[in-house]
């Protein structure tokens, strides 16, 4: 149970970063921390006590138990999607930097009023 | 200060809301039905030693196709957002001697390692995505060491489009010659645990590796350009 709670704390750190930071890059880092905590959480759900990596080699005994391969495959997908969203966010941040010359969200306020 | 305090309270409340989800979770003691089916029959059915690969490439292959499509859309979106013609800055610090010599020594090794990872995706940990990222890191090293070096857009686009198209063709071949879309068994399964085994899985993973590598190099190339 403790690994799950640690994952959850990592998630909360990410959320705290997103709502308190003023720098766009730091906000994106917070988002990435949240994302990886969720990935870690889902991987941990598939863990079985005493299970080995789901790869069959010459040394795998016939009655060996594997950890769940399904969450691992799903997280592989999720990591790539996370990479894609982070890259898009960074492109947006670069676009904003070109327009305003700053990453500070308090100064990016032309849409206001 | 008061704002930080409220943020902290918000985070604590969120923690309280979701805490039961975390504390009442029971560790898994045996595989679920789907996972057990994949773990027991996967190796015999598809001939891939790495069960995660058999799930990613064959059983859930359609999801992987969607994932590759998302990466493609990302590249297109970044190209759209940063489409303005940018002027490369004139004064850029040249790379140091250590970086240059290190790059010329390490570059072939890194690319070889990337190719090894995606070719052996069905036998060892790793696969197309990981291998593609390793290859992209080699190109980033090249871009860092030589400031005038920029990967050719046309070559990258062709590489990406061709590998994507061949990926879909592989899927359709599986549909015609074997059980269904992206079925790997239209090529001989070969001897279990050898590199030429598991039917079409190494081919598909190599195509994914090339596609991911080309896409990542394209993304980094676009993000790395600054304007004055």
Higher pLDDT, B109 or B45: B109
Note whether B14 contacts A12, CB cutoff 8 Å.
yes
What is the average pLDDT across B96-105? 88
Note whether B14 contacts A15, CB cutoff 8 Å.
yes
Is pLDDT above 80 for A69? yes
Per residue in B143-154, pLDDT (tens digit) is 888 777 777 778
pLDDT bracket for residue A30 (50, 70, 90): very high
Is pLDDT above 70 for B128? yes
Report ipTM for this prediction: 0.80
pLDDT of B155: 86
Note whether A16 contacts B81, CB cutoff 8 Å.
no
pLDDT of A62: 67
CB of A11 closer than 8 Å to CB of A39: no
Residues in B closer than 8 angstroms to A69, CB to CB, are 35, 38-39, 42, 51-52, 55
Question: In the 8-state DSSP scheme, what is residue A68?
Answer: P
Higher pLDDT, A6 or B28: A6
CB of A19 closer than 8 Å to CB of B10: yes
Residues 6 or more apart whose Cβ sits within 8 Å of residue B172:
B181
Residues in B closer than 8 angstroms to A84, CB to CB, are 70-71, 73-74
Average pLDDT taken over every residue of chain B: 82
Question: How many angstroms separate the first and last alpha carbons of chain A?
Answer: 49
Pick the CATH number of A1-35+69-108 from 2.130.10.10, 1.10.3720.10, 3.90.1200.10, 1.10.287.3510: 1.10.287.3510
Is pLDDT above 60 for B86? no
Higher pLDDT, B38 or A75: A75
Residues in B closer than 8 angstroms to A66, CB to CB, are 31, 39, 51
SS (H, E, C) B62-104: HHHHHHHHHHHHHHHHHHHHCCCCCCCCCCCCCCCHHHHHHHH
Q: How far is B57 from chain A (nearest CA, A)?
A: 9
Note whether A45 contacts B67, CB cutoff 8 Å.
no
pLDDT of B35: 80
pLDDT of B108: 92
pLDDT bracket for residue B54 (50, 70, 90): confident
pLDDT bracket for residue A112 (50, 70, 90): low
Question: In the 8-state DSSP scheme, what is residue B124?
Answer: S
Cα separation, B156 vs A35, whole angstroms: 29
pLDDT of B228: 42
Which of B196, B164, B179 is closest to B58 using CA atoms? Answer: B179
Highest mean pLDDT among A28-32, A44-48, B176-180: A28-32
CB of B209 closer than 8 Å to CB of B128: yes
Q: Is B191 on the interface with A (CB under 8 A)?
A: no
Q: How far is A113 from chain B (nearest CA, A)?
A: 23
**Least CA distance to B20: which residue of chain A?**
A5
Per residue in B155-171, pLDDT (tens digit) is 888 888 888 888 888 88
Per residue in A90-110, pLDDT (tens digit) is 888 888 888 888 888 888 877
In chain B, positions 51-70, which contact chain A (CB-CB < 8 Å)? Answer: 51-52, 55-56, 60, 63-64, 67, 70
Q: How far is B190 from chain A (nearest CA, A)?
A: 16
pLDDT bracket for residue A59 (50, 70, 90): confident
Please report, for chain A, the start and end positions of each structural domain, with discontinuous segments joined by +.
1-35+69-108
Average pLDDT taken over every residue of chain A: 85
Q: Minimum mean pLDDT among A15-24, A70-79, A92-101: which range?
A: A92-101
Q: Coil, strand or helix: which one is A104? A: strand
Helix-strand-coil split of chain B, %, nearest 5: 70, 0, 30
Note whether A70 contacts B193, CB cutoff 8 Å.
no
Note whether B4 contacts A20, CB cutoff 8 Å.
yes
């Amino acid at each position: 149970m403790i690994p799950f709670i640690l994952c959850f704390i990592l998630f909360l750190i990410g959320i705290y970063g997103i709502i308190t930071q003023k720098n766009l890059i730091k906000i994106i880092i917070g988002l990435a921390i949240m994302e990886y905590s969720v990935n870690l959480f889902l991987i941990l759900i598939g863990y079985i006590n005493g299970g080995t990596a789901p790869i069959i080699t010459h040394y795998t005994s016939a009655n060996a138990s594997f950890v769940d391969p399904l969450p691992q495959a799903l997280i592989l997908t999720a990591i790539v999607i996370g990479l894609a969203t982070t890259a898009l966010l960074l492109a947006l941040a670069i676009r904003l930097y070109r327009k305003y010359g700053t990453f500070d969200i308090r100064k990016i306020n032309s849409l206001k009023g | 200060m008061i704002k930080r305090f409220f943020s902290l309270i918000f985070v604590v409340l969120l923690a309280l809301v979701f805490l039961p989800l975390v504390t009442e979770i029971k560790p898994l003691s045996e595989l679920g039905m789907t996972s057990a089916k994949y773990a027991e029959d996967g190796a015999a059915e598809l001939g891939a030693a790495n069960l995660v690969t058999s799930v990613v490439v064959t059983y859930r292959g359609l999801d992987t196709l969607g994932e590759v499509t998302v990466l493609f859309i990302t590249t297109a979106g970044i190209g759209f957002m940063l489409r303005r013609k940018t002027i490369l800055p004139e004064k850029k610090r040249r790379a140091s001697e250590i970086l240059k010599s290190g790059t010329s020594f390490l570059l072939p090794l890194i690319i070889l390692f990337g190719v090894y990872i995606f070719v052996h995706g069905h036998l060892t940990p790793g696969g197309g995505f990981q291998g593609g990222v390793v290859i992209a890191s080699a190109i980033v090293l090249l871009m860092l060491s030589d400031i005038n070096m920029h990967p050719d857009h046309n070559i990258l686009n062709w590489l990406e489009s061709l590998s994507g198209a061949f990926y879909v063709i592989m899927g359709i071949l599986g549909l015609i010659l074997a059980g269904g879309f992206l079925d790997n068994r239209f090529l001989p399964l070969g001897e279990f645990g050898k590199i030429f085994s598991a039917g079409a899985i190494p081919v598909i993973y190599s195509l994914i590796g090339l596609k991911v590598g080309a896409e990542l190099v394209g993304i980094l190339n676009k993000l790395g350009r600054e304007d004055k």
